[in-house]
Amino acid sequence: MDDAKIAKYLESIGDHEGALRMLQQSPGGQHMFSSGVAFKSSGLALGFIEPPDSSDTLLPIAPASTVSADRNLINDRIKISLDKFYVHSYPGLGEHTVLCEFSGKNQVPGEVEELRFALRTKVRDGASASVSGHPIFLGVTVGANGISFEGRAVNIASDTDDVLLSALDSAAFKSGLSLIATAQPALKPFTGLAESVVKATLSRSKNKQVHNFNLGLDFGGNASSARLRIGSYVVVQTDDPHWDWSHYHWNRNTLGMQMRGEPVNVPSVNYMVFGVSRFEVPAQP
């Protein structure tokens, strides 16, 4: 959306100050971090945090395209979790309700299962949502070409969607999408419910998608793609063509991204962190 349409949307949800700020921005500006309008960016920067082998507090964040793939993960099963969701700025005032939807594929023998999982959370500007290590997909089988993983975040401003979104508060959604090594016929209705909830929510005029990303994590050697390995992937919502991961590090104490040399400063961007780990089959009682 252009600035005028964003301003009109902000007016409709009662954020008059935000609407005025959008209209006063210089035309054609791409670096939205300084203006505080982090939600306007539609691109991404993808970083990777290696699992620590020491007690160091500050960990480097590498461009995901520079890490080496772990081919031992082929045909193995992994867990994907949402470890962090930080909001610098989102449309509206006060506490935001955000609907997050994640989709992917599970390559079980003889079939490729469509995966879809959704959750809602509340968060304020300049803060993190109260999620840490939230399971999304448990037991995804990794194919020879890696995995694809898509996500989107929707700003919920309609006050009539509580009943609809309450479907996501069930124990099944809160515990993540548990998969097995064979096809599950019951999985299709479950993923269909998540898709229907998100689709219905987006149909409301006061609810708007804020960000969408699509990651392909593979085992190839291209300099322009990202690799799959155990660790943490940082998805930053940004349009900055010169994003440089060497300017940032991960603080294990605060569980957040910080500017190097400026420990009290955090980047003026929205970002999510996803953990990828090996899936441990629960012991049978």
3-28 confidence digits (pLDDT tens): 889 999 999 999 998 888 888 864 54
Is 285 inside any structural domain? no
Within 10 angstroms of residue 1's Cβ, the number of other Cβ atoms is 12
* Number of compact structural domains in the chain: 2
- Asked whether residue 64 falls in the same domain as residue 113, the answer is yes
pLDDT higher at 222 or 271:
271
Domain that holds residue 4: 1-30
Is 283 inside any structural domain? no
- Asked whether residue 144 falls in the same domain as residue 227, the answer is yes
Say what the pLDDT of residue 202 is. 80
- Asked whether residue 114 falls in the same domain as residue 90, the answer is yes
- Asked whether residue 23 falls in the same domain as residue 145, the answer is no
**Model confidence, pTM:** 0.86
Say what the pLDDT of residue 27 is. 54
In this predicted structure, the answer to whether residue 115 has a pLDDT above a threshold of 60 is: yes
177 φ/ψ angles, rounded to the nearest 5 degrees: -90, 105
User: Average pLDDT of 235-264?
Assistant: 92
Contact between residue 271 and residue 234 where contact means Cβ atoms under 8 Å apart? yes
d(CA 269, CA 252): 19
- Asked whether residue 133 falls in the same domain as residue 21, the answer is no
Is 135 inside any structural domain? yes
CA-based max dimension of the chain: 63
In this predicted structure, the answer to whether residue 39 has a pLDDT above a threshold of 60 is: yes
Burial class (CB in 10 A: 0-12, 13-18, 19+), 55: exposed
- Asked whether residue 4 falls in the same domain as residue 101, the answer is no
Contacts 24+ apart (CB under 8 A), 189-198: 191/114, 191/115, 191/116, 191/117, 192/116, 193/167, 194/101, 194/116, 194/117, 194/118, 194/168, 195/116, 197/118, 197/164, 197/165, 197/167, 197/168, 198/99, 198/101, 198/118, 198/152, 198/154
Say what the pLDDT of residue 187 is. 59
> Using 50, 70 and 90 to split pLDDT, how confident is the model at 32?
very low
Tokens of 220: 């190839």
- Asked whether residue 3 falls in the same domain as residue 58, the answer is no
Q: What is the pLDDT of residues 82-99, one digit of tens each?
A: 999 999 999 999 999 999
193 φ/ψ angles, rounded to the nearest 5 degrees: -65, -45
- Asked whether residue 224 falls in the same domain as residue 156, the answer is yes
